[in-house]
Amino acid sequence: MRTLSSFVAISAAAVPAVAQTLQSMAPSVRQYLSVDRPVFALRNVQVIDGTGAAPRADQTIIVSAGTISWVGPASAARIPTEAQVIDLPGHTVIPGLVGLHNHTFYYTAAPRAAQSNFTAPRLYLGAGVTTIRSTGSGSPYAELNLKANIERGEIPGPRVFVTGPYLIGPGPDMRLDYLGMHELKSPEAARKVVDYWAEEGATWLKVYTQIDRATLAAITDQAHKRGLKVTGHLCSIGYREAVALGIDALEHGLLSNSEYLADKKPDVCPGGYRDAIASRDIATDPDVRATLNAMLDKKVAMTSTLAVYEASTPGRPWGTDSRLWEVLSADARAEEEERHRQVETTAATSSMPRALKKSMEFEAMFFRAGGLLAAGVDPAWSTPAGIGDHRNFEMLVEAGLTPAEAIQVMSLNGARVLGIDRRLGSIEAGKTADLVVIRGDPAARAADIRQVVTVFRDGIGYDSAKLFASAKGLVGIR
């Protein structure tokens, strides 16, 4: 029987956060605005619309009251007389990005965890990530309050889809302490926890590494009854098992799939499973094909988080984005330099160079086969909020997607996973005006995506540089 509360939960899950309006914005948010006119036109820009279509040159986008009212060739545009006209030759406009593994905390092996309610929303928004799913909350109430304050116009930031706390089975893990993970002792306990966070406002749940099949089955069943969805960073359960148990999405590309290890025991998180991924020939391996087909068959989405894995892969580019060094606190900077030094000492033995390459191959194959591939940053010192999302774009292009397809993964596909794609995720007339103005051409030079100038959320324009400046030296502290 459907109770009133379960109906409410389903409605809450399906509807994106309320649109922001100027009237509701506090001075603490208004100080970051650069475009606050209700009607404006972005003229003479290249548009990458988020659908995967090739970039279109010399376009104009007209926005009225938070909605895209028209987009097409600049020569055909009929710009309303009351519009503010912003001429943007040499610029590219993409949809607001949808980040699906975008935490509001940092965790390091030190171990330490830092909730980042000040810097994360500013950096996400400043980088053009206008919607996030947190995908594992270190502090769910801190995140729910952050979401509420953003929606009230007290803090600049993206729309937030809050996940409950990490759900994990019994066993030792320092993250139980530092990230307040919820240790589930039984399937019955899991159902109660799902109910609790459904009432509190979570719309997704995240299971983490060590969890048994009976508990995952209880979580997916209870979550679906409440209109919530479940994703996982798995280990004790293989991808095909999780798909059969009703999971909605899988995190980290192929890199948390333990099912290729020869002596994998049920419900046990094994060591060395990444070596097993590294040893497979992605294009031809029948087991890999079976994983792919199971995901396609059940329409299970996958989140790419390539940038954060690159950071633990010796021999890869590191620290090339100067913004990283500007936003990190002195402590975080020192920790990151030491961490990177340690990674490079593993160059002779690490399976990560091959495993990373295999995951890139699998992600491209999944996308080409029609799989719902999205992306998220999984922030770390090496890949801070927003900055790491940009690195993901560069790596998706390296993986073989066209720049327009990589943008689609990071915008429309993310919106599809969240069920908000009728309103968000692409640049089309009638959709909400979440738009990112970039200086240069990320279709020609992927790294140009770092040159964000203005970010529109609900048709209100934020000065990216101001948002970044407000976070200077504070990542790791606030």
Contacts with Zn ion, residue ranges (CB under 5 A): 136, 378
CB of 135 to Zn ion, least distance (A): 6
Residue whose CB is less far from Zn ion, 248 or 378: 378
CA nearest neighbour of 316 among 349, 279, 278, 354: 354
CB of 233 to Zn ion, least distance (A): 6
CB of 132 to Zn ion, least distance (A): 12
Residue whose CB is less far from Zn ion, 383 or 408: 383
Separation in Å, CA 76 to CA 44, 46, 61, 88: 11, 15, 11, 16
What is Dmax (Cα atoms) for the chain? Answer: 70
Spatial contact of 329 and 473, defined as CB atoms under 8 Å apart: yes
How many other CB atoms sit within 10 Å of the CB of residue 298? 14
By Cβ distance, which residue is nearest to Zn ion?
378
Separation in Å, CA 186 to CA 138, 190, 361: 22, 6, 37
Spatial contact of 328 and 384, defined as CB atoms under 8 Å apart: yes
DSSP letter at 96 equals P
DSSP letter at 56 equals E
Residue whose CB is less far from Zn ion, 13 or 255: 255
Q: How far apart are CA 84 and CA 77, in angstroms?
A: 14
CB of 377 to Zn ion, least distance (A): 9
Residue whose CB is less far from Zn ion, 105 or 393: 105
CB of 301 to Zn ion, least distance (A): 16
Residue whose CB is less far from Zn ion, 44 or 359: 359
CA nearest neighbour of 187 among 165, 209, 207: 207
Residue whose CB is less far from Zn ion, 136 or 227: 136
Residue whose CB is less far from Zn ion, 66 or 136: 136
Residue whose CB is less far from Zn ion, 103 or 280: 103
Q: How far apart are CA 334 and CA 346, in angstroms?
A: 19
CB of 101 to Zn ion, least distance (A): 6
CB of 304 to Zn ion, least distance (A): 13
CA nearest neighbour of 101 among 303, 364, 243: 303
Which residues does 223 contact at the CB level (< 8 Å), separation at least 6? 194, 198, 205, 229, 230
Separation in Å, CA 350 to CA 30, 139, 256, 353, 381: 48, 33, 16, 7, 21
Residue whose CB is less far from Zn ion, 47 or 255: 255
CB of 426 to Zn ion, least distance (A): 26
CB of 100 to Zn ion, least distance (A): 10
| DSSP collapsed to 3 states, 275-314 | HHHHCCCCCCCHHHHHHHHHHHHCCCEEEECHHHHHCCCC
Which residues does 252 contact at the CB level (< 8 Å), separation at least 6? 101, 233, 303, 304, 305, 309, 359, 378
Residue whose CB is less far from Zn ion, 136 or 253: 136
Residue 64 tokens read as 């009225």
CB of 71 to Zn ion, least distance (A): 35
